Amino acid sequence: MLKISALAVLAVLPAFVQAQSAVYGQCGGIGWTGATTCVSGSTCTVLNAYYSQCLPGSAASSSTAAPSSTTASTSTAHSSTAASTSTAAAPSSTAIAGNPFEGYEIFLSPYYAAEVTAAAAAITDSTMASKALEVAQIPTFTWLDAVAKVPNLGTYLAEAQSLQASSGQKYLVQIVIYDLPDRDCAALASNGEFSIADNGLANYENYIDQIVDLIAQYPNVRVVAVIEPDSLANLVTNLSVPKCANAETTYKEAVTYAIQQLNTVGVYMYLDAGHAGWLGWPANLSPAAQLFDSLYTAAGSPSFVRGLATDVANYNALVASTPDPITAGNPNYDELLYIQALAPLLTSLPAHFIVDQGRSGKQDIRNAWGDWCNVLGAGFGTRPTTDTGSSLIDSIVWVKPGGECDGTSNTSSPRYDAHCGLPDATPNAPEAGTWFQAYFQTLIADANPAL
Ligand code: BGC
């Protein structure tokens, strides 16, 4: 993914002299015309049909860029990690009552740090480059958006555990569970690797099992997870979209499985709850609360489900100084208002929240509230902190790793979504999740607070 950044900027290079892809660079996938081999020390790994990436090491699962199913490799990985869990101490079975972020250092995602470091190296302006490097020190969440990325989590947990041992500080690893079958049912940009029609639920359960097996090996490292961005919100408002209607039962079963299993290894979980401009509309609040409550209760009220995550990968202010004109008609025009309106409607799900502010630094930049794709002029926002100003909010977080793309603007891509071609979307955007150097540089330039 990264290579798009570094190389695309240098990528006045004609295609026929394209070098090998850098670590984390794209190296294959439908529509990809760049390099298909990786620099030494990394291996081209198929993440999904649209995207192969140079991952560090010599991955066992895949060594070529040809898009293919990852199912085969997943079935073996699960059983191989299961054996080692027997040596691990039992994870705590009781969730703490308080804020799981309190008293913990957040482990910096090496994946994002590597993306940012390479991006900084591609910036010629030295002031901008040093600001870019500051971003590598700001914690983001690691998105497990493909089963091939799950083994990275084992490495991070091991690193967090040794940091914990050497520093005496307690560490917390932040992840996003994001691999539902028929993912992103109301849009195209983030369609994923599993399909409901093709064994999707079983593949998803296997993905969850692999994550659980890894986490079980590090019971002393705290893990916080955002569960499946957009999925339940789509079930609240987008059942008129046939793909969402078809996915409803599977999404519920899959999310239930995820929270039950992650609960067994003590992962503190926040279900994704869209944002103020989605579920925050007055007509959507009660249906949303009912869905969250009923799913949580039917799952057996897993004690490590701490609450809800809002504004993931979006741009809303936590507290807007004035309502953005695009929010007209919604009294809940910022995330705090949305959270304050939703919380009292929850009858069983705990009303604790985390709020993504990673790209919310600059306001009043959208033409419509529903515009979500690489919005032009966005800036990095408030840094992660537990000093949130509201007892409902555990932490301000950066869930979306700023600089990773929301979706391609290439109209011929199978994952082209029209939102990514709107006038307020940044042009020349690569595939979702891959590095978007120009966008990263705008986020730095428009950061508020400034970098
Ligand atoms: C993409 C994922 C990516 C995530 C974070 C989503 O839009 O679909 O692949 O991991 O954003 O950048």
Nearest CA to ligand 1 atom 12: 433
pTM for the whole thing?
0.84
CA R_g for the chain? 20
CB 55 within 8 A of CB 147: no
Which entry of 179, 182, 213, 230 is annotated as an active-site residue? 230
Nearest CA to ligand 1 atom 3: 433
Q: Give the integer Cα–Cα distance in Å for 11 and 323.
A: 40
pLDDT digits (tens, 9 = 90+) for 200-231: 999 999 999 999 999 999 999 999 999 999 99
Q: How many of the other CB atoms lie within 10 Å of CB of 245?
A: 14
What local confidence, expressed as pLDDT, does residue 451 receive? Answer: 97
pLDDT digits (tens, 9 = 90+) for 9-40: 233 233 333 578 776 677 777 666 788 888 88
| Residue from 382, 312, 399, 403 nearest 114 by CA | 403
pLDDT digits (tens, 9 = 90+) for 102-111: 999 999 999 9
The mean per-residue pLDDT over the stretch 52-74 comes to 42
Half-sphere CA count of 382, side-chain side, radius 13 A: 21
Compute, in angstroms, the gap from residue 344 CA to the centroid of ligand 1. Answer: 31
pLDDT digits (tens, 9 = 90+) for 173-202: 999 999 999 999 999 999 999 999 999 999
Q: Give the integer Cα–Cα distance in Å for 351 and 332.
A: 17
Q: Give the integer Cα–Cα distance in Å for 393 and 281.
A: 20
What local confidence, expressed as pLDDT, does residue 32 receive? Answer: 66
* Residue 58: band (very low, low, confident or very high) from pLDDT cuts 50, 70, 90: low
The single-letter code of the amino acid at 32 is: W
- Helices 110-121 and 2-9 cross at an angle (nearest 10°) of 0
From 26, 188, 193, 404, give the residue whose CB has the most ligand 1 atoms within 8 Å, as the site to mutate. 404
Nearest CA to ligand 1 atom 10: 433
CB 307 within 8 A of CB 349: yes
Residue 86 pLDDT greater than 60, yes or no:
no
Q: How many of the other CB atoms lie within 10 Å of CB of 163?
A: 17
Which residues, 6+ apart, have CB-to-CB distance to 184 below 8 Å? 190, 191, 192, 230
Compute, in angstroms, the gap from residue 269 CA to the centroid of ligand 1. Answer: 19
432: which 2 tokens? 């979702």
**Does the active-site annotation cover 184?**
yes
pLDDT digits (tens, 9 = 90+) for 286-326: 999 999 999 999 999 999 999 999 999 999 999 999 999 99
